[in-house]
Structure 1
Amino acid sequence: MREHNEKKKINKLTRNYGYSNFNTNSNLKKYIPAILSSLMLLIGIAADYYNFSPFFKSWFRVLWYSTAYLPVGLPVLKKGIESIKRGSYFTEFLLMSIATLGAFVIGEYPEGVTVMLFYTIGEFFQSAAVTKAKRNIKALLDVRPNKALVLRSNSYVSVLPSSIKIGETVQVRTGEKIPIDGVLLSTNAYLNTAAVTGESKPQRIIKNTIVYAGSINLQNVIEVKATKEFKNSSIARILDLVQNATARKSKTELFIRKFAKIYTPAVVFLAIGLTFLPYFFVPNYVFADWLYRALIFLVISCPCALVISIPLGYFGGLGAASNNGILFKGASFLDTIAKVNTLAMDKTGTITKGIFTIQEIKAFTISESELMKYTLALEATSTHPIAKALLDYPLREPFTATDVKEIAGKGIRGIVNNKKVLVGNAALLLDYKIDVLTEIEDIVESSVLVAINGEFVGYVIIADEIKEDAKETVSEAYKIGVKDFYMFSGDRESITKNVAKQINVLRSKGDLLPEQKLKEVEELMKNPNAIVAFVGDGINDAPVLAVSDVGIVMGGLGSDVAIETADVIIQTDEPIKIVKAIKIGKSTRAIVWQNIALAFGVKLIVLLLGAAGLATMWEAVFADVGVALLAILNAVRLQTKKW
């Protein structure tokens, strides 16, 4: 039932883009009417040209071309009538119907059939392009698991993934898809994560590593502990985001649709004027000549090249992005990210891996073991990457904390063994007027300070690694038009400066609270020429992600709040994907404007020629169907390009 509903969403999505007018099924039956019309048209033109028989000049010629017209013309005529019944009078169906029937009225039978035939062929190309554009989204339905083996009552039973509960153990056999987000319980696994991350190379995963629903197990039977419900799994989230993204249209697309609603009726009235007004001003007025010019005008003016190729361009951009592990929450963000010239990034989990390890433990008035027991009693409640590193420390008989409170950007306080304990940075201890040894100031790495009952008792040094592609991201970002690069962090100033120096970021600030990060980005946005993108991953980045022009989140390590707030999600946590996202945005925008210029430019030239009597119906066909085909082929390039 769930799959049926999601397929209905896909169909609704395509209807929103106006793609449901023609069946996209590749069944041969849909081509038969066009093939029949083509054969009859060719035979008719040959009979006209070679004068096969005088018989063909009579009523039989009208009947022959009428029969050739009906297979391709009748469906369009029906759609025109249906749209009128719904109150939509001025559509491309109406334009095509008037133009082709008018051609029959003035005796231009071959041209009437040709216009409708080429229009239908154009729809076939459009349909094929849309099918290709939808393939990435439909592929998500295919990779979504439809069954799971769950350990219940000491045996594995087959259930629907939606029924799996957090904490349950799931068995995944070779070749099967992981049905739920979770943690690997087996020693190792070899997974194909392409559907989730866009990474084509299979990944070797070790025990206790997070794995994602939709990944394919390539080797050996593995066990996974569920950490999320299916509805919150990565694959369900991707599907939902992409579906919603295609429904959120860009400003350019919305403008073109509004423009078409005004443009089409204007064209109809101009064609009527072109037919009858010359009667009052032109000597030797011939109705058939001016009607022919008006019919050419109608064919040329059909707005299908615009209303089809532009959304198809954005659709292709979204598909190309999702295929590379980048999720845009709307087509509008493809437009905005293309204009980004200022990039601000968080440090931990964005520039660095966010995987901390304990480097040194220094205890003063208590033992190392006691220091860690007090520390971990508070850190057990935190989801910060530093807390995770501390919790890897082996402990026997850990202490329990009460009245725990997290102080944003500073640390945690609480009660342990009836003692007031503070665990955090120097700013936290200074708030409580606790002296910190001067040697702390010389430590470049992250340090966790511990105070008990107002006394500084020790610290733990934690180190983080810079991501392999962080430096490349900065250099590539400059190459594609990012003029200003900033790094903001809640970590110590010395650590932030050190990381910034290693990746060639010239502007950086550390020791920032969430509200201070927000203030820094708001300052950047005061520049009217700045289009600011902020990249983060934690819950404390959510306010900045929300206020920036484009909020980009590292989806793998990122918190759920940050993911919900952001406009763009990088599934693989690779900074270089930010550059790819900007490139895809720029290419999408360029193709959309190329299509607009192509459609308007060619149509305007042929319109003027048609009104002057210098263009025939054949030029009109090219200006309409030919331009639409070129625009569609141009848009398809987004889906075939390697990024």
Structure 2
Amino acid sequence: MNEYRLQGLSCGNCAREMEEAINKLENGEGSRILYNSSKLILTNEVDLQKVEKILSADGAIIVKEGDYDSMDHTHSHDRTDRMKILLGLSTIIFLAAIYVDTQVQTNIPVIMYLTAAALSGYPTFIKGAKNLVQLKFNIDTLMTIALIGAFSIGEWKEGTLVAILFGVNELLEGLGMAKARKSMEELLKVAPKEAILLENGHERIVPIETLRKGDVVLVKSGQKIPSDGIVVSGRSSVNEAAITGEAMPVEKEKNEKVFGGSINNEGVLKVSITKEYKDSSLAKILHLVEEAQETKTPTEQFINRFAKYYTPLIMVVSLLVMVIPPLIIGGDWGIWFYQGLAVLIVGCPCALILSSPIAIVSGIARNAKNGILVKGGVFLEQLGKINTVAFDKTGTLTKGHPYVEKMFVYDEKRFFSIAGSIEKNSTHPIAKAVMEKVNEQGILFIEPDDIRTISGQGVTAVINGKEYTVGNEQSLHFPLPDDVAANIQLLKDEGYTLVIVSDKVTVLGVFGVTDEIRQESKEIINQLYSAGINNTVMLTGDHDKTAEKVAKQVGLTHYYASLLPEDKVAKVKELTKRGKVAMVGDGINDAPALATADLGIAMGKGTDSAIETADIVLMQDHLGKLPSAVKISKRVNNIIKLNLSLALGLKLIALLLTIPGWLTLWIAILSDMGATILVTLISLTIMIGETK
């Protein structure tokens, strides 16, 4: 398949029809026109000249990739400017014709009306005439029939007004989608174009596509880091907003990871490239954001199916309005013919087709700027319907960094020394937590002899000829004094993981280790309740007391402890029977549960596994932006419902005016144009202001 940029796409319905025409060409099956992102996907064997001919019929052209940036949308701007000039000129002629019509009784006003109508609507007339010959019925066909009918019964003024207002309507439709596209394109411009490559001490500017793993690049103050890498020298603060949506800079120094597309604020960094740009976090994000624009939500799919049958249905209704009243109730043929023409104009599905895509693109772009990667409109719509959010515990609600929060010391002289001597070389997270606490004491360690790990118990070592153990309760093989037993039970009841230091007959002390709860977790849970989430659930492999402690502190409605990965999947399936469920995890250990939920949400600060696993990715390493994503999604869904109500409601009101015979051509076009303006402006509000 080949991908091309398009310029001049101004109508979603027209794009759909052109796609259908291209698919009918030899070898054209499977070709797609992506209206939201203005792209064309073609099979390799299709005749490109025939494709360009189909596109040109609607004023669209293929732009060569190398010319795209240099054009800076020149064709689109030229087309829009030309439409504005023609509409302005036709409006002046129309107003002049009205004045002349009141002064003289000649055919001059008629010529002026026809001139004004031709200037504002000639592209529609040409396409509509071709469609009539081919018996293809769409918006252009409706308008052409309506205008021919209006002029045939001498309604020169109203026919011309319809032509001008329809031209304005098409212009506004194109501008609305262009605005949404522009916000998305500016988001995609964060990708750097060039890099300073260091070779044998010399600097050379190269395109980022040529960088290979292991290349070292120089990133000066204010420049973008070209691809994912590791700092090999230098120190600076880096703006990672392009990846995470976080405005606060992050300090970077030697051996720390950096993301492509992030900006070096000050100083100079030398970065060793760890991924080619096409495999970098930024490239994957931008690719997914572009793809996300084109995934059709169930609502959009319904609208597209509806629009396909809607236009022929309107033509039948129009014909019935023209014929039935004169035949049955003896109505005036001229009046009801006029009413039928107005019904044709009311039937234009412009506003209906626009009711969803601008809102969807705006929602995806708004979330992406916040560092929330939504992989498609269907997931954006789904997020707005979620009523239950299930969380993994470690690294999601907690920091995933164990630390000693509480301890009981019975032999201070030996407790810290023995613990540090045995745990100092361990890489286990709990051992590191113990060492952090021991190091605060400034204790000198003793090199142990005969270190042995006892499965399910802990570590035993000989120090100064005496055997010591650092482990859990299972490591104790002697009776405990009442106060020690009581303290151990207290730590267990409070949900701590126990690290007991002992010799063969005495407990020297006990560390109570816990995973620190994220400071923002409780506030985020409350914000989710405010955003309309009814249930918050924690699924964890930790024991019940630890789970209970975390659930109470952050304010969850339910928790389930001691779960294996397969247990989490079963629990998610159970929850989905009661409502729409989103599962939030790190995108690695929770992959099965993420896939099972109605919506998988991963948090991973740009990690590959997070991007690939979930439907939505929080590019930060915390949940801070999740409530915002939920609110934006609900807002998008509400706006789409409002748009559909306005689009259909205004048309229904206009159609009801046919019953008393009050519907006029200008009321018909104003109802359609008014709906188009409203759905466009309402959809674009998603891109501005705070989502509360």
Structure 1, residues 443-462: CA drift from partner, whole Å, max 9, x if none?
75567999xxxxxxx99987
Name 2:142's counterpart in structure 1. Answer: 95
CA distance in 2, matches of 1:104, 1:195: 56
Query: Cα–Cα, structure 1 residues 449 and 67, in superposed 2: closer, same or farther, change >3 Å?
Result: farther
Structure 1, residues 494-536: CA drift from partner, whole Å, max 9, x if none?
4333332321224223332211211221221222xx1111100
For residue 26 of structure 1, give the secondary structure of its aligned residue in structure 2. Answer: helix
1:575 correspondence with 2:623: yes
CA distance in 2, matches of 1:108, 1:235: 58
- Of 482-491 and 17-26, deviating more is 17-26
CA distance in 1, matches of 2:166, 2:651: 15
Contact 2:194 2:206 in 1 (8 A): yes
Counterpart selection for 2:367 from 307, 316, 321: 321
Counterpart selection for 1:545 from 594, 603, 618: 594
Contact 2:497 2:513 in 1 (8 A): yes
1:281 correspondence with 2:301: no
Name 1:407's counterpart in structure 2. Answer: none
1:40 correspondence with 2:89: no
CA distance in 1, matches of 2:418, 2:519: 39
TM-score by length of 2: 0.76
Name 1:80's counterpart in structure 2. Answer: 128
Shift of 1:94: 1.2
Shift of 1:481: 1.8
For residue 396 of structure 2, give the secondary structure of its aligned residue in structure 1. Answer: coil
Query: Cα–Cα, structure 1 residues 390 and 189, in superposed 2: closer, same or farther, change >3 Å?
Result: farther
Shift of 1:547: 0.8
CA distance in 1, matches of 2:430, 2:171: 56
Query: Cα–Cα, structure 1 residues 494 and 605, in superposed 2: closer, same or farther, change >3 Å?
Result: same
TM-score by length of 1: 0.81
For residue 136 of structure 2, give the secondary structure of its aligned residue in structure 1. Answer: coil
For residue 225 of structure 2, give the secondary structure of its aligned residue in structure 1. Answer: coil
CA distance in 2, matches of 1:99, 1:363: 93
CA distance in 1, matches of 2:137, 2:401: 60
Name 1:243's counterpart in structure 2. Answer: 290
Name 1:430's counterpart in structure 2. Answer: none
1:377-456 alignment to 2 at 5 Å? Answer: 435-437=474-476, 442=491, 444=495
Contact 1:536 1:552 in 2 (8 A): yes
CA distance in 2, matches of 1:88, 1:143: 47
Shift of 1:614: 1.1
Shift of 1:164: 2.9
1:9-408 alignment to 2 at 5 Å? Answer: 14-15=34-35, 25-27=76-78, 28-48=81-101, 51-54=102-105, 57-58=106-107, 60-81=108-129, 89-186=136-233, 188-283=235-330, 285-355=331-401, 373=425, 375-376=426-427
- Of 318-327 and 10-19, deviating more is 10-19
Amino acid at match of 1:293: Q
Query: Cα–Cα, structure 1 residues 123 and 200, in superposed 2: closer, same or farther, change >3 Å?
Result: farther
CA distance in 2, matches of 1:282, 1:317: 51
For residue 537 of structure 2, give the secondary structure of its aligned residue in structure 1. Answer: strand
Name 1:524's counterpart in structure 2. Answer: 575
Shift of 1:367: 9.0
| More RCO (CA 8 Å, sep 6+) | 1
CA distance in 1, matches of 2:431, 2:276: 24
- Indicate the percent of aligned positions where both proteins have the same amino acid: 36
Contact 2:343 2:655 in 1 (8 A): yes
CA distance in 2, matches of 1:47, 1:387: 94
CA distance in 2, matches of 1:6, 1:424: 60
Name 1:471's counterpart in structure 2. Answer: 522
Contact 2:569 2:592 in 1 (8 A): yes
Name 1:408's counterpart in structure 2. Answer: none
Query: Cα–Cα, structure 1 residues 155 and 351, in superposed 2: closer, same or farther, change >3 Å?
Result: farther
- Of 160-169 and 66-75, deviating more is 160-169
Structure 1, residues 422-443: CA drift from partner, whole Å, max 9, x if none?
88999xxxxxx99444998847
Name 1:632's counterpart in structure 2. Answer: 680
Structure 1, residues 22-60: CA drift from partner, whole Å, max 9, x if none?
778334333211111111111112222xx2233xx32x3
Amino acid at match of 1:617: L
Point out the structure with max Rg over C-alpha: 2
For residue 625 of structure 2, give the secondary structure of its aligned residue in structure 1. Answer: helix
Amino acid at match of 2:594: L
Shift of 1:14: 4.7
Contact 1:446 1:492 in 2 (8 A): no
Shift of 1:541: 0.6
For residue 390 of structure 2, give the secondary structure of its aligned residue in structure 1. Answer: strand
For residue 356 of structure 2, give the secondary structure of its aligned residue in structure 1. Answer: helix
Amino acid at match of 2:387: N
Shift of 1:276: 2.6
For residue 584 of structure 2, give the secondary structure of its aligned residue in structure 1. Answer: strand
Shift of 1:135: 2.4
CA distance in 2, matches of 1:72, 1:493: 72
CA distance in 2, matches of 1:459, 1:561: 37
Name 2:29's counterpart in structure 1. Answer: none
Query: Cα–Cα, structure 1 residues 448 and 32, in superposed 2: closer, same or farther, change >3 Å?
Result: farther
1:597-636 alignment to 2 at 5 Å? Answer: 597-636=645-684
1:515 correspondence with 2:515: no
Shift of 1:223: 2.2
Name 1:397's counterpart in structure 2. Answer: none
1:552-591 alignment to 2 at 5 Å? Answer: 552-556=601-605, 560-591=608-639
Contact 2:457 2:473 in 1 (8 A): no
Query: Cα–Cα, structure 1 residues 359 and 81, in superposed 2: closer, same or farther, change >3 Å?
Result: farther
Shift of 1:158: 2.9
Amino acid at match of 1:499: V
Structure 1, residues 251-305: CA drift from partner, whole Å, max 9, x if none?
111101101111110101111222233342232x433222110111011111111
CA distance in 2, matches of 1:387, 1:82: 78
Shift of 1:314: 1.5
Name 2:534's counterpart in structure 1. Answer: 483
Gaps of 5+ in 2: 10-31, 40-54, 61-72, 408-413, 438-450, 459-471, 478-484, 502-508
For residue 143 of structure 1, give the secondary structure of its aligned residue in structure 2. Answer: coil
For residue 348 of structure 1, give the secondary structure of its aligned residue in structure 2. Answer: helix
